[in-house]
Amino acid sequence: MRRETKAPAELIVLGIESSCDETAAGVVRVRPADGPRGEILANVVASQTELHAPFGGVVPEIAARAHAERLEPVTREALNVAGIALEEVDLIAVTAGPGLIGGVLSGVMFAKGLVAATGKPLVGVNHLAGHALTVRLASPTPFPYLLLLVSGGHCQFLAVRGPRDFLRLGGTIDDAPGEAFDKVARLVGLPQPGGPHVERVARRGDAARFAFPRPLLDRDDAHLSFSGLKTAVLRARDRLLAEQGGLTRQDQADLAASFQAAVRDVLAEKSRRALALFEERLGRRPSRFAVAGGVAANESLRAALEEVAARAQIPFDAPPLPLCTDNGAMIAWAGAEWYLDGRQDDPTLAARPRWPLDETSPALLGAGRKGAKA
């Protein structure tokens, strides 16, 4: 639905997120005139990590049930923290996809309930747009910019040309890096979610001990692949198990360090290509190179990407960690950007478990199909 109105001086936006295993609500004050600028008044996240831990991955039924139970208290807490009454909210934004159908549905139904009770306008936001636009919530960033989205379920390079205008320049053809970090953690006996643990033990490891593959570097595009790398780590581990009957602490650290170096090298090299592709396709340089998503927490990856940007003389940015991982403020912000861009949904808003950001580019083989997270 398109809406033609003059931008208000200030918007208080409630954002609701429930597409994977975080039930989240955020309240953001947006001043459309200044850029626009956003101020986070509250950002409450109820993680379901412990609920899913015994199963080694996110169980959709458990997630949906927990969202249904937690949406109301989490939203109430966010409004309390912000010191805002529901009646003072100007806009309700909710993740309408992509993600686990049960979770997305719970969030959409809940948001519709709030809209029915208050008569506030509603915007159904694409979760990936939330990650992509958060760069502008964290610091003023003009369009167009290059974004690398690296999370548990996604890995893509996007040219962000406007609030609802995304061009995919490349992405994974199989697994997402976060998924690979989680798998490698399981292989070497570390807890879930694996990324932070792999990074921690990699610090005392020898990244040169195992020569893991750097997939797709022979291809001159910005596509990526991580499933072969995962298998290579599995083989190396199995060889050690067969030879020694177990892994030493040093083996564990060396496997982690060698794996992390391979992911870092591939993402850095493909970032170089994505920067070139950006210029080729858009006819100009990006205002910024930004990285978002849970894997963006990885310090060695951040450092490598920062160096790529520095060499290309393009400012680099990574939103602060709480804004990199799933949260409600990012949905509130993206909702505001879409609303100010003329987007509004009516109460028939549907959940879209599959919802590519760039609907013009062909789907990549298997991309984003395996991971529950986005």
Summarize as ranges the residues that interact with ligand KG4 (CB under 6 A): 20, 151-153, 178, 181-182, 193-196, 199, 293-295, 297-298, 325-326, 373-374
Q: Which stretch binds Zn ion (CB under 5 A): 166-174, 183-191, 195-203, 324-332?
A: 324-332
Residue 272, amino acid: R
For residue 297, the partner it binds in Zn ion, ligand KG4, none, with Cβ less than 5 to 8 A by kind, is ligand KG4
Q: Which three-class secondary structure state does DSSP give residue 127?
A: helix
Question: What string marks each residue from 355 to 374 as x (binds Zn ion by CB under 5 A) or -?
Answer: -------------------x
Min. distance of Cβ 210 from Zn ion in angstroms? 30
Which residues are CB-contacts of 260 (< 8 A; sequence separation ≥ 6)? 181, 198, 199, 202, 207, 298, 300, 301
Q: For residues 143 and 150, what is the distance between their CA atoms, to the nearest angstrom?
A: 20
When the beta carbons of 216 and 374 are compared against Zn ion, the nearer one is 374
What the block records as the tokens of 71 is 């949406």
Min. distance of Cβ 187 from Zn ion in angstroms? 24
Q: Kindly state whether residue 175 participates in binding Zn ion, applying the rule CB under 5 A.
A: no
* Helix, strand, coil fractions of the chain, as percent rounded to 5: 45, 20, 35
When the beta carbons of 26 and 152 are compared against ligand KG4, the nearer one is 152
Q: Kindly state whether residue 326 participates in binding Zn ion, applying the rule CB under 5 A.
A: yes
When the beta carbons of 36 and 107 are compared against ligand KG4, the nearer one is 107
Identify the bridge partners of residue 157 per DSSP, sorted by sequence position.
148, 170
Q: E strands, the chain, where?
A: 11-17, 22-31, 37-47, 91-97, 122-126, 145-150, 155-162, 165-171, 289-292, 316-317
When the beta carbons of 24 and 114 are compared against ligand KG4, the nearer one is 24
Q: For residues 183 and 216, what is the distance between their CA atoms, to the nearest angstrom?
A: 20
For residue 178, the partner it binds in Zn ion, ligand KG4, none, with Cβ less than 5 to 8 A by kind, is ligand KG4
Burial label, 337 (beta-carbon count in 10 A; 0-12, 13-18, 19+):
buried
Min. distance of Cβ 372 from ligand KG4 in angstroms? 8
Min. distance of Cβ 289 from ligand KG4 in angstroms? 18
Min. distance of Cβ 294 from ligand KG4 in angstroms? 2
For residue 157, the partner it binds in ligand KG4, Zn ion, none, with Cβ less than 5 to 8 A by kind, is none
Residue 257: name the closest of 203, 184, 181 by CA: 203
Identify residues 64-93 at the interface with Zn ion (CB under 5 A): none
Count of residues touching Zn ion (by CB under 5 A) = 2
Residues in the site for Zn ion, rule: CB under 5 A? 326, 374
